[in-house]
Chain A
């Protein structure tokens, strides 16, 4: 018996994957050339799986600000804001977020994961009730486990199921807090926020929306799905990340609820970890500025998303229900997902493999994400590689023939799947 015996099934799967010579979970880029290209050994790879939605990671102004601020304030803060003090940059970034969202309060976290961990676990106390969308990100589930509230999950994107669950809780004491996402990271689908907002209002619940994948992507000014669906006033807390459209690292929460700032001395994932380095704060500030000043980035992103979605649909791949910067092709099984991933990489295209339990309904996904930095030619090239590789694997023809029913609309396929 060893400490690691419990990982034996996982370890067996992982070893098999290593032996196949193509392990998406251990990929390393030797050089990165731009938001859309990298080198692995001598091969030039087109990047189509980075979440780098606005393509800001090589922006010269952002890099200059990062260097300038690092020279002025040093590489790290070496402590938490509560124990060791905030820097001017943290406060400035919080002011910039308040201004962007038009909200009274903002709090910056060291990652988006920690923002969810902190906000969810702290807001929902012992006698409160958390209601999570079933397809929530791991950080939302983990936040619910860190706290002491009662947790239930409702059917993905199903306001009616949420309504039933709130009804069952109507006479039970405690606050009710609902958590949903803007764009879901696995299939790129969006939440029916209007309907959720109506349900939460009816039952007097609070609403948290994680806009991790929709900040800078949706809404007239890039504030996300709540802006797009015109329900921002019903959203009590917006959580988000700097690690996708803003091209750096970190997370945040904004709100209009008075007393919000008490969380700074109650929220453990905020208090007991080092604050973001000055250079990262400066990069994020400048990226947020560009997000606001360059709406053309968002338009280009959406055009690229539509182009890829249309191209892959045309090849007969089954995709998520709506075009979005996350474009996932539903694979018949994990082995096929790995095979397609590996062959695409050999052909010079980097994508992602997503598997249960991270994916909904036991689906194996070949996931792509597009960037505003992609040229239309790069998207077309990616589609051509999907066609060539998919055909060689017998996927494209097979899909074209079988593309009559949509697997997402069908009853959930509950394969006995595990992490790989």
Chain B
């Protein structure tokens, strides 16, 4: 079943809020590594949370291409449509 982009956005934002030690302003253009200070393994762990909620697998090369929250939402949306 394909989820809407809005729903995916909600899932991504909730997962991110869950792991950030302090609340941060999150938008489509927020850079996950630079603005939020997450290292590569933390990003992969966080993507795993969203994979589980959305029942989709994100290949590692697709994760490394992601820079912003918007990129991640778009990637998850594309993968949902492909599946």
Classify chain B's interface size.
20 to 34
Q: Which of A99-120 contact B (CB under 8 A)?
A: none
28 A–B contacts, CB within 8 A, in A order: A134-B44, A134-B48, A144-B60, A145-B60, A150-B59, A150-B61, A152-B57, A152-B59, A152-B60, A153-B44, A153-B60, A165-B57, A168-B57, A168-B83, A169-B57, A356-B39, A362-B41, A414-B19, A414-B42, A414-B46, A415-B21, A416-B21, A416-B36, A416-B37, A416-B39, A417-B39, A417-B42, A418-B39
Which residue from A134, A150, A168, A414 sits with its C-beta under 8 Å from B56? A168
Who on chain B is nearest to A361 by CB?
B45
- A150, A168, A361, A414 pick with most chain B CB within 10 angstroms: A414
The answer on a CB contact under 8 Å between A153 and B21 is: no
Give CA–CA (A169, B58) in the complex, Å. Answer: 12
> A12 to nearest B CB, angstroms?
14
The answer on a CB contact under 8 Å between B60 and A164 is: no
A412 interface residue per 8 A CB criterion: yes
> A124 to nearest B CB, angstroms?
12
Q: Which residues of A contact B36 (CB under 8 A)?
A: 416
B2 interface residue per 8 A CB criterion: no
Instruction: Given A153-B48, A357-B39, decide whether A164 and B19 contact each other with a Cβ distance below 8 A.
Output: no
B40 interface residue per 8 A CB criterion: yes
**Interface pairs A-B: 9 shortest CB-CB:** A357-B41, A416-B37, A151-B60, A414-B19, A150-B59, A152-B57, A414-B42, A418-B39, A165-B57
B11 interface residue per 8 A CB criterion: no
Give CA–CA (A164, B55) in the complex, Å. Answer: 8
A155 interface residue per 8 A CB criterion: yes
Who on chain A is nearest to B41 by CB?
A357
The answer on a CB contact under 8 Å between B42 and A362 is: yes
Give CA–CA (A150, B39) in the complex, Å. Answer: 22
Instruction: Given A134-B48, A152-B58, A168-B55, decide whether A356 and B41 contact each other with a Cβ distance below 8 A.
Output: yes
Q: Which of B15-29 contact A (CB under 8 A)?
A: 19, 21
- Please list the residues of chain A having a beta carbon within 8 angstroms of any beta carbon in chain B: 134, 144-145, 150-153, 155, 161, 164-165, 168-169, 356-357, 361-362, 412, 414-418
> A150 to nearest B CB, angstroms?
5
6 additional A-B residue pairs with CB within 8 Å, beyond A134-B44, A362-B42: A152-B58, A164-B55, A416-B39, A417-B39, A417-B42, A418-B39
The answer on a CB contact under 8 Å between B48 and A416 is: no
Give CA–CA (A150, B48) in the complex, Å. Answer: 16
Give CA–CA (A218, B21) in the complex, Å. Answer: 40
> A172 to nearest B CB, angstroms?
9
Q: Which residues of B contact A415 (CB under 8 A)?
A: 21, 42
Q: Which residues of A contact B44 (CB under 8 A)?
A: 134, 153
Which residue from A151, A169, A412, A417 sits with its C-beta under 8 Å from B61? A151
Give CA–CA (A416, B45) in the complex, Å. Answer: 12
Who on chain A is nearest to B46 by CB?
A414
Which residue from A151, A161, A164 sits with its C-beta under 8 Å from B59? A151
Who on chain B is nearest to A417 by CB?
B39
> B26 to nearest A CB, angstroms?
15
The answer on a CB contact under 8 Å between B45 and A134 is: yes
The answer on a CB contact under 8 Å between B55 and A357 is: no
Chain B 44-83 interface 0/1 with A at a Cβ cutoff of 8 Å (1 = within): 1110100010011111110000000000000000000001
Q: Which residues of B contact A362 (CB under 8 A)?
A: 41-42
> B50 to nearest A CB, angstroms?
13
Who on chain B is nearest to A362 by CB?
B42
Give CA–CA (A149, B36) in the complex, Å. Answer: 30
> A80 to nearest B CB, angstroms?
30
- A152, A155, A164, A168 pick with most chain B CB within 10 angstroms: A152
> B14 to nearest A CB, angstroms?
14
Who on chain B is nearest to A413 by CB?
B19
Q: Which residues of A contact B56 (CB under 8 A)?
A: 168
Q: Which residues of A contact B39 (CB under 8 A)?
A: 356-357, 416-418
Give CA–CA (A418, B41) in the complex, Å. Answer: 9
Give CA–CA (A153, B40) in the complex, Å. Answer: 13
The answer on a CB contact under 8 Å between B21 and A357 is: no
Who on chain B is nearest to A411 by CB?
B18
Q: Which residues of B contact A412 (CB under 8 A)?
A: 45
Who on chain A is nearest to B58 by CB?
A152
Who on chain B is nearest to A357 by CB?
B41
Give CA–CA (A167, B49) in the complex, Å. Answer: 18
> B60 to nearest A CB, angstroms?
5
Q: Which residues of B contact A356 (CB under 8 A)?
A: 39, 41-42
Give CA–CA (A150, B59) in the complex, Å. Answer: 6
Who on chain A is nearest to B57 by CB?
A152
> B33 to nearest A CB, angstroms?
10
